[in-house]
Structure formats: C-alpha cells, structure tokens
Amino acid sequence: MSKNALNDVAARKAKAREKPYKLADERGLYLLVSAAGKYWRLDYRFEGKRKTLAIGVYPDVALALARERRDTARKQLAEGMDPGLIRKTQKREKSEQRANTFEAIAREWHATRAAGWASGHGERIIRRLERDIFPWIGGRPIRDITAPDLLSVLRRIEGRGALETAHRALRDCGQVFRYGIAAGRAERDLSADLKDALATAKGGHHAAITDTKEIGGLLRSIEGYRGSFVTKCALRLAPLVFVRPGELRRAEWAEIDLEAAAWVIPAERMKMGESLIVPLSAQALAVLEELRALTGSGRYLFPSARSPHRPMSNNAVLSALRRMGYDKEEMSGHGFRAMARTVLDETLQFRPDIIEQQLAHAVRDPNGRAYNRAQHLEERRKMMQVWADWLDARKAGAQVLPFRLPA
C-alpha cells in the first residue's frame, strides 16, 4: 500500500470547507468532502471518456469496503466492461424486481379493480391478502413463485380450519397472477395448478363472517346499501336479532311490542315448534321505528315489493348481500346466527346455554327439563344489548375487548 494512501483516521477527521475537496487514496479512489457529507468516488476512463463512479457514503461505507468496491470496478474495466453502466443496470433490475413482487402487482391489480366493486368488498380482499399472503410471498418476484410456494401459504390458512378463506385466497391470487400475465410481468397463473389441492369445506354449514374486522366491514357495507329501504332495514335488523331468515322476513307487526322492547315469534312459525321471545336492543328499536313509518300500517314488517299482503322474498336479503359483493362462500342470511354465536361465546363470553336459548335451539337445564320461553329473559335482554353495542363499536372500527357479564 502506498505511503500516501488514505487512512481511516484522516477520513474521520476530515472537515468540510468553503468548497468541496478531495482526499486521495490510491488507484483512483478518493473521498469527496463537502458540507453535505463525505462520498467515496472512483475516477476512471472507458472508451476514451472520463467517468466517475459513486462508491458509497462515509462512514456507512468504511475505507476497507470502499477499496473492495474499487477493486471490483477495476476488474470490470480490465474485462472491457463499464462499471458505471453495470451499476445502472443493477439499479434498474432491483427497481424492476421491487415493482414486480407479488405484493406490488397485487396492490396494483386491487387499485385498478376497487372502483368497480361494491362497498367493503375490496377492503375484505386486500385485508385477506395482507393477513394471509403478503407476509409469506409478498416480497418475492412474482416470476420466482412456484405452485408449491403458493400451496404452502394456503396450507397455513387451511391448517387453522378456515377452508373457505383458503379457497377465496386462492381465487384472489389467481386474479393477481392473471393480471400480471396481462401486464407482461408474470408468466403463468399458478392457481390453476392448485385447483384440487385444497380440502373442500364440509357441507351443511352456512357461510358466515366471524372475523371481528370483517364484521365491521359488513356492517359498514349494510349502512351504505343503496337498494330498497325495506331490504336495508331487514339487513340492519338481521345481525341485531340473529333469527332464522324465514322468521325475519315473515315478521308481523302484531308480534312486535315496542314498549316492552320484545318480539314474540309464535310457535307455528318456529322451526322447533316453540315460541321465542326476542329482546329488542335500543338499536333494534331504532330500526323498527324507522320502518314503522313505511310499513307499520300493514301486516308484515318486510312486505313484498309486489304485494303488501305477502312477506318479502326469501332471496331478498341474500340478493342484497350479493349486490354488496359478498359471494355465497362468504356470507348468507343464516350467517348472522353463526356470527352472533361465535362472538357471544368466544369474545363476549356469555354462557353457552343462554346463547343457544336465544338461537331457539333445544336447550335443557341440568335436570333434563326444557327451558320455557320466558326463562333467562333478563340475562338474554342484557346479552342482546351488549351484542348490539359491540356491533356498533365494530362498525365504528373500535378495538375488540372481551366482555364479562357482572355477577
């Protein structure tokens, strides 16, 4: 090493002057000192032209590392290559890699489609990708992802029992791959290879949203629903009372006691053949008061659009959910019952027998006797109000906190 070579002490002690100046090392490397900072530079000639290569910023790039980079650049010159052009090419490739990661393309696809989706639908898709896909393969170039890579990620979702979510995530990824192909940034749709790889959801279960964040999105979608006012009221009331869809659509004003804040569904309209008292929360009463101004003079709360003498179609609520962007594997009219049952048990921690009784399931006391319709009414009334308040908080985007009924 030349005795005139730069050392780390000199580099560290170098102070800015009125004008930028150079501290020479050797073999073309020098430290440019200015008021803005200290920069390693390498002067060289290529094809008769004088050029300068940026090596790094001191002290992030120490003297030893700057010399390694200088030596690499000089080897490139010896092989007839321009180190400056190589650096620009590498930067461009890195930039392209960042732009062509799965997450970058997925967000681009989402942004181009979101305007055409119903309120809340796009929010659910991007949240699903952020939660279940991006942490594992989001940062990888989309061209480098293989079918086994994608399957491994989907198996994580499948492993926690969320089979429908796994299938929806697969469909989302398929759309991202197809968008990438159309944009010339992906080669093929890997989701097609996994068509039969995931387990299918067991039949007999109604699609339901039970994730607390997705519940908030659903409630906000209902508030933004632009269809029939009667249907909107049915959608607003459904989560608050979580009765069966047939019981809701055939509800009659004669069964509603607004002063007592109760809805008594007669036995002949109940699946189990026993009448049910549905305590009405303040939120449920508010919906009914709005609705009464429109349909209160007739028989049904939710009359058919074609005839006030018939209840609304059994597809009215389901069709509204589809218009809002919820497909058959995401949410159903029966899904409000599963939603309530899951949250009341797991999050709000109410007694299972109280929840089951409100769901009008067959429930027996410790002596094997069936509960009558009035038993635990006060506990159920408290539960229904806590549930309604919890739904309001989710709609507003509040934090989820467990609730325990006071002793």
Residues annotated as catalytic (active site), given as ranges: 244, 271, 334, 337, 361, 371
d(Cα 248, Cα 265) in Å, to the nearest integer? 10
Q: Which residues have a Cβ under 8 Å from the Cβ of 15 and sit 6 or more positions away?
A: 33
Tell me how far CA of residue 268 lies from CA of 79, 120, 335, in angstroms.
91, 37, 23
Q: Which residues have a Cβ under 8 Å from the Cβ of 21 and sit 6 or more positions away?
A: 32, 33
Q: Are 336 and 222 in contact (CB under 8 A)?
A: no
- Closest CA relative to residue 128, chosen from 175, 81, 178, 168: 168
- Burial class for 239, CB neighbours closer than 10 Å (0-12, 13-18, 19+): buried
d(Cα 82, Cα 74) in Å, to the nearest integer? 9
d(Cα 401, Cα 406) in Å, to the nearest integer? 15
> How many C-beta atoms surround the C-beta of residue 135 within 10 A?
13
Q: Phi and psi (nearest 5°) for 257? A: -115, 95
- Closest CA relative to residue 288, chosen from 279, 280, 277, 298: 280
- CA angle (363, 369, 374) in 5-degree steps: 65
The residue type at 99: A
